[in-house]
Amino acid sequence: MDYEDEQVNELAALESIYLDEFRPGEPTVDPQDEGAYPRRTFEVVVNLDDITMPDAKMARPEVTLRFALPQTYPEVVPVINIAHVAQLAPKHQSALLTALRATADESVGMAMTMTIVAAAQETVERLLREEAAREAVLQREREEAREREVMKKFEGTKVTRETFTAWNTRFMAEMAAIEAKKKDAKTRADEAMRAKRPTGRQLFETDKSLASSDTGTFAPPPPPPAAAASNASEAVEVNSQLFQGLTIDSDSDSNDASAS
């Protein structure tokens, strides 16, 4: 196989296919190569505009791959690195390179740059899809955890004989303390009322009208009705003219009185 011819033809094909996405680079020399062979280098911008984004809120990533072709390429894999990346997590960058190098190992013996670039598109899309799925699972787990916390507020504590006995002891002690406070407050209130209430002597000394009112209590009572009537009869005047013309038989009255 003419490695030089194979590499030249592949680079020409890449430039015609990728156009602005293909960027030829300067040859580099790897000191580890026997004879210090100058490797052909180039970069390819991976077109990710057409991949399906699993979440509309996710930013579309950008990836540019750098290739370096060893002297015996394509009988050996190219050196693959990421020249530029954006909106792609470091863990995904590492996973991308691992996948691309595995694809290169499977393609030894043939021109493989286009295969690797296509694998880069598929791998980035897969990584984003898996990340979205993991995030959805985590979000669901967080929501379920919040729901469990809310439900715990309604479930309360499981009641056993021991927990009920302990609760009842605390409850009875609390109620006894409350009752004691109530009784103590009532006792203090009663004592305060008694302290404020004046004695009979204090009332007598402060209100002089009580003495005059008590004096009226001992006044002599009015005369009985019979005596009043007797006195009234003595004071009656008789009109003699009312009896003029009347004949009074004193003998018959006397006889009647004797007969009876």
pLDDT of residue 152 exceeding 50, the answer is yes
Cross-strand partners of 41: 68
pLDDT tens digits, residue range 209-257? 655 555 555 555 666 655 544 554 455 555 566 556 555 555 544 455 4
What is the pLDDT at residue 213? Answer: 57
Maximum separation of any 2 CA atoms in the chain, in Å: 197
Dihedral Cα 13, 16, 19, 24, nearest 10 deg: 50
What is the pLDDT at residue 179? Answer: 92
Task: Name the strand (E) or helix (H) holding 112.
Answer: none
Question: What gap in Å lies between CA 194 and CA 189, rounded to an integer?
Answer: 9
Alpha carbon 52 to its chain centroid, in Å, reads 38
How far lies 109's CA from each of 12, 14, 75, in Å? 18, 18, 5
Token reading at 256: 């009647």
What are the residue boundaries of the structural domains of the chain, listed by start? 3-137
**What is the reported pTM?**
0.55
pLDDT of residue 131 exceeding 80, the answer is yes
Question: What gap in Å lies between CA 72 and CA 4, rounded to an integer?
Answer: 8
Q: Quick one: what percent of the chain has pLDDT higher than 70? A: 73
pLDDT tens digits, residue range 14-62? 999 999 999 999 888 766 655 667 889 999 999 999 888 888 888 899 9
pLDDT band at 169 (very low <50, low <70, confident <90, very high): very high
Any idea which residue has 């295969």 for tokens?
115
pLDDT tens digits, residue range 80-124? 999 999 999 999 999 999 999 999 999 999 999 999 999 999 999
Q: Terminus-to-terminus CA distance in the chain, angstroms? A: 188
- Collapsing DSSP states into helix, strand and coil, what is residue 24? strand
What is the pLDDT at residue 34? Answer: 57
Superfamily covering domain 3-137: Ubiquitin Conjugating Enzyme (3.10.110.10)
What is the pLDDT at residue 156? Answer: 67
Helices (H), the chain: 3-18, 90-106, 113-155, 161-196, 200-206, 209-217, 225-234, 250-259
Question: What gap in Å lies between CA 109 and CA 125, rounded to an integer?
Answer: 27
